[in-house]
């Protein structure tokens, strides 16, 4: 990446930010990138949830993230950001170039995508919504446990059925790593 940044004279236009452990600094980085009308790119081969995607969108950053895993649900393609296929770098880079070309031609385009991210977070990913869902699930589980006297074996069967009907098909859509390419984190 550093060679490509140098080759295409992109110094000052792209920042490669390594893993950050300081939450305050992370927030400042997101804000700085947002204030300079940048974008957040998360090209992982697979991301289970995508907390960094939610954090970036919470700051209003247009977000480009892997189409495999949680970010595929978080991002509505073309509204708060874009799905990218990390196995197809040319298409991902073309999508980024197209986005910034649109922003240059119409400065309100960046704000439109930014506002789409803020709205998506407000509708789906706030702590209030999360806690309400958790309380609902707790209530359902408590009621279920109260009305049924399931033993461990029955509970295990229920979980296996849930896996077979829902999660196995979701997991099968995740592409396998291509031999010779570095693996995801």
Does residue 178 form part of some domain? Answer: no
More confident residue, 72 or 136: 72
Q: Are 32 and 59 contacting, i.e. CB atoms less than 8 angstroms apart? A: no
Q: What is the mean pLDDT of residues 138-150?
A: 66
Instruction: State how many domains the chain has.
Output: 2
DSSP code of residue 80: T
Provide the b/e sequence for 141-168 (b: ≥16 CB within 10 Å).
Answer: eeeeeeeeeeeeeeeeeeeeeeeeeeee
Instruction: Check pLDDT > 60 for residue 122.
Output: yes
Instruction: Check pLDDT > 50 for residue 185.
Output: no
Q: Are residues 150 and 116 in the same domain?
A: no
Does residue 185 form part of some domain? Answer: no
Taken as a whole, the chain contains a residue count of 185
Q: Are residues 106 and 91 in the same domain?
A: yes
Q: Are residues 53 and 113 in the same domain?
A: yes
Number of H helices, E strands in the chain: 9, 3
Show the domain range for 121.
Answer: 2-125
Residue with tokens 């393609």: 77
Instruction: Record the pTM.
Output: 0.68
Q: Are residues 10 and 94 in the same domain?
A: yes
Q: Are residues 120 and 141 in the same domain?
A: no
Q: Are residues 22 and 85 in the same domain?
A: yes
Instruction: Check pLDDT > 60 for residue 183.
Output: no
Does residue 31 form part of some domain? Answer: yes
Rounded to the nearest integer, the mean pLDDT of the chain is 84
Q: Are residues 8 and 42 in the same domain?
A: yes
More confident residue, 166 or 185: 166
Q: Are residues 137 and 70 in the same domain?
A: no
* Phi then psi dihedrals of residue 11, to 5 deg: -55, 135
Q: Are residues 81 and 154 in the same domain?
A: no
Q: Which DSSP string do the residues of 133-164 spell out, in sequence order?
A: HHHHHHHHHHHHHHH----HHHHHHHHHHHII
**Can you tell me the distance from the alpha carbon of 112 to that of 107, in angstroms, rounded to the nearest whole number?**
9
Q: Are residues 115 and 30 in the same domain?
A: yes
Instruction: With cut-offs at 50, 70 and 90, classify the pLDDT of residue 119.
Output: very high
35-84 pLDDT tens trace: 999 999 999 999 989 899 999 999 999 999 999 999 999 999 999 999 99
Q: Are residues 56 and 136 in the same domain?
A: no
């Amino acid at each position: 990446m550093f060679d490509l940044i140098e080759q295409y004279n992109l110094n000052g236009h792209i920042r490669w930010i390594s893993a950050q452990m300081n939450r305050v600094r992370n927030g400042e980085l997101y804000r700085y990138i947002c204030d300079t009308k940048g974008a957040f790119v998360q090209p992982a081969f697979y991301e289970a949830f995508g907390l960094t995607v939610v954090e970036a969108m919470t700051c209003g950053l247009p977000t480009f993230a892997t189409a495999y895993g949680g970010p595929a649900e978080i991002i509505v393609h073309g509204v708060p950001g874009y799905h990218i296929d990390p196995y197809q770098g040319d298409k991902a880079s073309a999508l980024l170039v197209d986005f910034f070309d649109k922003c240059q031609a119409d400065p309100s385009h960046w704000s439109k995508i930014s506002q789409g991210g803020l709205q998506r977070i407000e509708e789906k990913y706030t702590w209030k919504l999360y806690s309400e869902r958790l309380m609902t699930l707790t209530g359902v589980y408590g009621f279920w446990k109260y009305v049924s006297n399931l033993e461990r074996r029955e509970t295990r069967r229920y979980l296996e059925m849930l896996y077979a009907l829902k999660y196995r098909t979701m997991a099968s859509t995740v592409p396998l790593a291509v031999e010779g390419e570095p693996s995801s984190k």
